[in-house]
Amino acid sequence: MAEPIVAHEPGPVPVLDGIGALAPRFDLILCDVWGVLHDGVRAHPAAGEALTRFRALPGERPRRVVLVSNAPRPGSAVQVLLDAFGVPRSAYDAIVTSGDLTRTLMAERADAPMHHLGPDRDLPIFEGLDLRRGGPDDAAHVVVTGLLDDETETAEDYRARLEPWRARGVPIICANPDLVVERGARLIPCAGAIASLYESMGGTVIYAGKPHVPVYEAAVAAAAALDGSAPLPRDRVMAVGDAIRTDIAGARAYGIVSVLVARGIHAAELGVEAGAKLGDVAGWLAAQPVHPDAVVDVLRW
């Protein structure tokens, strides 16, 4: 690639074969997880290899990768899943999740009764916290981690459950701002879909995770803590993700370069399902509210 990419410069968005030519200009990659490193069932080997190669690059300071996920569970629980999917630990240095930020938000509200809306698999988000748990009728706030049955339900199934909270002015803490996530070849609704519905009904939502700036600040701070150094300047940080609404919008809000992985949650819109070759993305990008600084088919070197 002949010309350097500068964050948010106007003009056509380049489509790259991989990140190999771009990555050496950065010291830190903030990388999405679902849809980039794995599809919810198995790892994408080329993605793990690309991040491993980035971390091995020489430089004045160690190259770092922090995984930034909207998973509604702590980073330690996400690492267990990554191991099970086959994502190599050589691909990353640390994990920061919306679940981690949600735990901070809950701890700040520990004296008020809290109700949980979500599946039991998300219960690790509460471990070690001294919270007042309440039922739906007496909750001062509600933590939404996901749909109870995301295989069959949609957010609309929760409208009647949400209405009494809206009427009482109960705020919702959304532990996963994603609307959907990949699970194999399917897109599964997430807590963000419920939160979006609640907002449309006039309810108040407090979001943890992407695209909101605090999760990026936490991720950059986590990288700095690894080396006992000051946080990197933003022109040395690059974000990689597969979602315009969260990954790309969040990187834009934080002021860093972003790379969109096309073969993720937008694969159907871009017509790259089932092994189809990535074609011209300019028309699709023109219709999006924010734009990445580059596009790759999949994360590879």
| pLDDT band at residue 182 under the 50/70/90 scheme | confident
Q: Is the CB of residue 96 less than 8 Å from the CB of residue 117?
A: no
pLDDT at 264: 85
- The rounded distance, in Å, linking the Cα atoms of 189 and 187 is 7
What band does 268 get if pLDDT is binned at 50, 70 and 90? confident
Which residues lie below 8 Å from residue 275, measured CB to CB, with a gap of 6+?
none
Is 4's pLDDT higher than 70? Answer: no
pLDDT at 273: 67
- Say if residue 22's pLDDT is above 60: yes
The mean of the pLDDT values for the chain is: 92
Q: How confident is the model over 140-148, as a mean pLDDT?
A: 96
Per-residue pLDDT tens digits for 77-96:
999 999 999 999 999 999 99
Residue in this structure with the two tokens 């919270």, named with its chain if needed: 131
Looking at the predicted structure, is the pLDDT value of residue 247 above 60? yes
pTM of the shown model: 0.87
Over the stretch 272-291, which tens digit does the pLDDT of each residue have?
765 667 767 888 898 899 99
Query: Per-residue pLDDT tens for 80-138?
Result: 999 999 999 999 999 999 999 999 999 999 999 999 999 999 999 999 999 999 899 99
Domains and CATH numbers, the chain: 15-99+211-296 (3.40.50.1000), 101-207 (3.40.50.1000)
pLDDT band at 3 (very low <50, low <70, confident <90, very high): very low
Burial profile 119-148: b = 16 or more Cβ within 10 angstroms, e = fewer: eeebebbbeeeebeebeeeebbbbbbbbbe
Residues 4 and 285: their CA atoms lie apart, in Å, by 20
pLDDT in tens, 206-236: 999 999 999 999 999 999 999 999 999 999 9
Distance (Å, whole) CA 156 – CA 4: 45
Cα 27–chain centre separation: 20
